Amino acid sequence: MQKRGVSGSQKYKTYVNFQYLRQKSSKMSLVVVGTVAFDAIETPFGKTDKIIGGAATYSGTSASYFAKNIKLVSVVGDDFPKEMIEQFGKMGMSTEGLQVKNGQKTFFWAGRYHEDMNTRDTLDTQLNVLLDFDPVIPDSYQDCEFLMLSNLMPQLQRQVIERLHKRPRLIVMDTMNFWMETQWDALMETIKLVDVLTVNDSEARQLTGEYSLVKAAQKILSMGPRYLIIKKGEHGALLFHENQVFFAPALPLEEVFDPTGAGDTFAGGFIGHLAQTRDISFDSMKRAVIYGSAMASFCVEKFGLERMVNLTPEEIETRVQQFVDLVQFDIQLV
């Protein structure tokens, strides 16, 4: 009988080069666009008043562990704490493209998580300063090689692409159900322009009307993006490209306190890793999905940004190793 499968020397292994974590590349440039916000969060474990949040806040913070010279594009009102803007700078983010509007209020979002912590209701979205936001791209941002379009009005995400003189090497876009419900046409126009789209499973179904995630992925890949990531909360994430698919688990955690920002943190770790290695092959994207998942696993351990602001490279390294151990196995098919 003919033997099938892999030989003993070709074992299933996930290769992680931890050197990357220690060699922040200064050559790349990563622009992060999205909301910088106040959030009010309710989970079965507690409730917060206004705390700092926002899609770009989470993505930028997460990416800052991998990439230098992150450039932020966003807008806040004069109610936003100056200390936090300074903190962005300390994390290596340029805030030249962060506009502060006098007499206006920062974007506000309130959400309540269900018992399962995987689903939530949006209780309030106050666009405030976002309503007349006109993103300005400083000259110092024009060398952008990697662009992270974190959650924001789709027409503003598109404007940022158009205002960059040269198309970045890789554009990653995140979006959410709110924009599918309120700005469908603009969303479709922007999705056409990006390389990688990240959505969660219910958003993938909402975008396509397909229950099967494989069918949904096929439809989304025909809308423009060459790569699609479907996040499934505690059930991991799927990366689709042409007819290939890669699965990354989520780390089984004893306690999840607050999933807010997990998706943005995932996206920041994902693009941060790609920007750091400057390798945008499918294999590199698979590793980036693991880095993104590892960063998201930290985010949910505490409320808001708390866990994300003081991570050490060693903690990240250990966490990534846990992911490797979780999925690594040897198998011989006979």
Residues in touch with ligand AMP (CB under 6 A) = 35, 37, 39, 53-55, 109, 125, 151-152, 176, 178, 260-264
Between 187 and 239, CB nearer to ligand AMP = 187
How many whole angstroms separate alpha carbon 293 and alpha carbon 128? Answer: 31
If the CB atoms of residues 88 and 109 are measured against ligand AMP, the closer one turns out to be 109
Distance in angstroms (rounded) separating the CA atoms of residues 94 and 71: 5
- What is the smallest separation between the CB atom of 11 and ligand AMP, expressed in angstroms? 35
Q: Which is nearer to ligand AMP, 107 or 227 (CB)?
A: 107
178 vs 246, beta carbon nearer ligand AMP:
178
Helix, strand, coil share (%) of the chain residues, nearest 5: 35, 20, 40
Q: Please state the closest distance from residue 222 (CB atom) to ligand AMP, in A.
A: 25
Instruction: Tell me, rounded to whole angstroms, the distance of Cα 267 from its chain centroid.
Output: 2
CA 308/CA 91 separation, integer angstroms: 11
Q: What distance in Å separates the CA atoms of residue 146 and residue 167, rounded to the nearest whole number?
A: 9
Tokens of 45: 């474990």
Picking from 275, 220, 212, the residue whose alpha carbon sits closest to that of residue 66 is 275
At its nearest, how many Å lie between ligand AMP and the CB of residue 273?
A: 18
Helix runs in 77-212, H state only: 82-90, 154-163, 177-182, 184-191, 201-208
What's the min distance (Å) between Cβ of 126 and ligand AMP?
Answer: 10
User: Is the CB of 24 or the CB of 53 nearer to ligand AMP?
Assistant: 53
Could you say which DSSP state residue 111 is in? E
231 and 297 Cβ atoms separated by less than 8 Å? no
Q: Indicate the residue among 309 and 324 with the shorter CB distance to ligand AMP.
A: 309
In the bound state with ligand AMP, the residue whose beta carbon lies nearer, of 29 and 95, is 95
Q: How is 246-314 classified by DSSP, letter by letter?
A: EEEPPP--S-----TTHHHHHHHHHHHHHHHHT--SHHHHHHHHHHHHHHHHHHTTSSTTTTTTT--HH
Shortest distance (Å) from residue 305 CB to ligand AMP: 9
CB of 54 to ligand AMP, least distance (A): 5
Q: Which is nearer to ligand AMP, 168 or 263 (CB)?
A: 263
**For residue 139, what are its two tokens?**
């000259």
Q: Provide CB contacts within 8 A for 314, sequence distance 6+.
A: none
Helices (H) and strands (E) in the chain, counts: 11, 14
Closest contact distance (angstroms) between CB of 263 and ligand AMP is: 3
- Looking from the CA of 30 toward its CB, the CA atoms found within 13 Å total 35
Residue 10 C-beta: closest distance to ligand AMP, Å? 37
Nearer to ligand AMP, 225 or 233 (CB): 233
Q: How far is the CB of 30 from ligand AMP (least distance, A)?
A: 18
